[in-house]
Structure 1
Amino acid sequence: MSRTRLAVWGDPIAHSKSPQLHAAAYGVLGLDWSYDRRRVAEGEFAGAVRSLDDSWRGLSLTMPLKDEAYRIADVRDAHAELTGVANTLTLGATVHAFNTDVGGIIDALGESGITTVERVRLLGAGATAASALVAVADMGARSADVRARRPESASTLRELGARLGVEVTVLPFTETADAVELTVSSLPGGTALPEDVVAPLAAAGGALFDVAYAPWPSALATNWGDVPAIPGLGMLLHQAVRQIRVFVHGDPGVPLPDEQDVVAAMRTAL
């Protein structure tokens, strides 16, 4: 049976833009594949995957399923191994897991003219922060100032930094901020930090890359001053491009046929 079915799973999932992104891409590529969305709770994930038949090609995963996707896989790519999470699975006799968020961050920043960094600040300490840390390490970062409401929750980022050769310090949001070139926020959309917290972070924070994109500008971007604020739509787009490469080629690094046209169609669909 031909594997032509795909979907994005998560909880919640109704807001996901993935179906229109993937539909646009497969239209340009001339692939008669279906791509749907399904609400799947964390505790339901393993059973739901086991219930899929041979018509299923792969899955895109959003929160809270990225940890579960990592655990269920037989084989994982390097970025999934580093971060301990996966947002993409290919299905079959062997389940392969990928983390395309890392490359999506790198591509989105590169599109905005940011290709190298040395000193960065990460706001938040969850799965997306781990992907961001791997991304900036690939871009040359040597130090990362992590801000978290509960600094003890960022122990995994310290360990990851040690593996990557990046010096990670973890501080509360209110601590004095040293100057950095780039701030990456993985705080949930709609998070509004107090003005007296944002002001010093913005003054010494360089460009802001905020993974939130709805609504835009985010509360953080609104208070970031005159320095560029980059929305997370670019990450959403480019992680999906790499995800589609996985579904087509099995490799997030292999470009798609007519990829410029594919990306243009996806951008229009956003």
Structure 2
Amino acid sequence: MASDDRRHRAAVLGSPIAHSLSPVLHRAAYAELGLTDWTYDRFEVDEAGLPAFLEGLDASWAGLSLTMPLKRAVIPLLDAVSETASSVEAVNTVVFTEDGRRTGDNTDIPGMIAALRERGVEKVESAAVLGAGATASSALAALSEICAGPVTAYVRSAERGREMRGWGERLGVDVRTRDWSRAAEALCAPLVVATTPAGATDALTGDVPERPGTLFDVLYEPWPTGLAASWAARNGPVVGGLDLLVHQAVLQVERMTGRAPAPLAAMRQAGEAALAPR
């Protein structure tokens, strides 16, 4: 899709939204690309308010970024959804076509893959996932591309375990589940993906092995997490939440503006600068 002078507005929607770094990243991209007439804002929108918000948009809108709790709620409101987004029932990117159609995509999954590849992780024989929420299903989708063997998910309830095994069947991943009480075992995997909230993995910091594999911790604030700091102290490669945020935003910018490649380095630098005072 080529850039169109009539379509030059974008924004991130969610609730809560005040903490979002998306405006910082997208605006940095626009500045680097010379898109001086493009704007990117944030709007507090919940599930109940989403239909009216979408109906109120005019032809100047190019796209939207979506965060919780809208990634699934938006699907019935779209004209088309990509195979990637359908695979995890989560849309984080909406692009408006010239004829007004709303198309949904998921850049979290390819963003995860790109962030790992940037650190030299192309293929692994097995992996572990800590947690079982919405981000964990996206992690499984990414692992379906790079993990040759089983993925062990460490979860807090039998219901979560069933959900993760269900996602595995849907995505073609051999998912095995273990109770969270055994989460220290996960740290010996060649690739560990932590998808849990802040503080949830703090008790594992003393269990990092002498020669760890790669840790992908999806948090970016606070950073580093206790687990990431302990991992780095053992000289283990660490991929952080900002890496994921920047890589998925790069893909959003490219889809919304039609300009590629988006300026990864400038976007990461802007994100780091924004996080530094926090």
Alpha-carbon deviation of 1:56? 1.5
> Does the Cα contact within 8 Å between 2:202 and 2:226 map onto a contact in 1?
no
Say yes or no: does 1:161 pair with 2:168.
yes
Map 1:130-169 → 2, pairs under 5 A = 130-169=137-176
* Per-residue CA distance 1:90-110 (angstroms, 9 max, x = gap): 135321000000011111111
Alpha-carbon deviation of 1:263? 1.6
> 90, 94, 108: which one pairs with 2:115?
108
Aligned equivalents of 1:208, 1:136: Cα separation in 2: 13
> Which residue is 1:214 aligned to?
221
Gaps of 5+ in 2: 272-278
> 56, 68, 73: which one pairs with 2:78?
73
> Which residue is 2:48 aligned to?
43
Aligned equivalents of 2:150, 2:52: Cα separation in 1: 41
Question: Which amino acid in the other structure matches residue 39 of structure 1?
Answer: E
Alpha-carbon deviation of 1:235? 0.5
Say yes or no: does 1:5 pair with 2:43.
no
Say yes or no: does 1:61 pair with 2:66.
yes
CA shift in 2, pair 1:173/1:136, >3 Å:
same
Alpha-carbon deviation of 1:184? 0.5
Alpha-carbon deviation of 1:223? 3.9
Question: Which amino acid in the other structure matches residue 253 of structure 2?
Answer: I
Residue identity over aligned pairs, in percent, reads 41
Alpha-carbon deviation of 1:205? 6.6
Aligned equivalents of 2:107, 2:161: Cα separation in 1: 22
> Does the Cα contact within 8 Å between 2:62 and 2:257 map onto a contact in 1?
no
Say yes or no: does 1:263 pair with 2:260.
no
Say yes or no: does 1:19 pair with 2:27.
no
Aligned equivalents of 2:26, 2:154: Cα separation in 1: 34
Say yes or no: does 1:182 pair with 2:191.
yes
Alpha-carbon deviation of 1:194? 5.7
Question: Which amino acid in the other structure matches residue 27 of structure 1?
Answer: A
Aligned equivalents of 1:220, 1:42: Cα separation in 2: 33
* Per-residue CA distance 1:76-134 (angstroms, 9 max, x = gap): 11210111001000135321000000011111111111111121111111121111111
Question: Which amino acid in the other structure matches residue 264 of structure 1?
Answer: A
Aligned equivalents of 2:202, 2:90: Cα separation in 1: 31
Aligned equivalents of 1:26, 1:135: Cα separation in 2: 28
> Which residue is 2:200 aligned to?
192
Aligned equivalents of 1:28, 1:57: Cα separation in 2: 18
Question: Which amino acid in the other structure matches residue 87 of structure 1?
Answer: N
Aligned equivalents of 1:156, 1:50: Cα separation in 2: 34
Aligned equivalents of 1:128, 1:205: Cα separation in 2: 23
- The DSSP-based 3-state class of the residue aligned with 1:68 is coil
> Does the Cα contact within 8 Å between 2:195 and 2:218 map onto a contact in 1?
yes
> Which residue is 1:238 aligned to?
247
Name whichever of 217-226 and 133-142 sits farther off.
217-226
> Does the Cα contact within 8 Å between 2:130 and 2:153 map onto a contact in 1?
yes
Alpha-carbon deviation of 1:199? 4.4
Aligned equivalents of 1:83, 1:70: Cα separation in 2: 11
Aligned equivalents of 2:109, 2:162: Cα separation in 1: 20
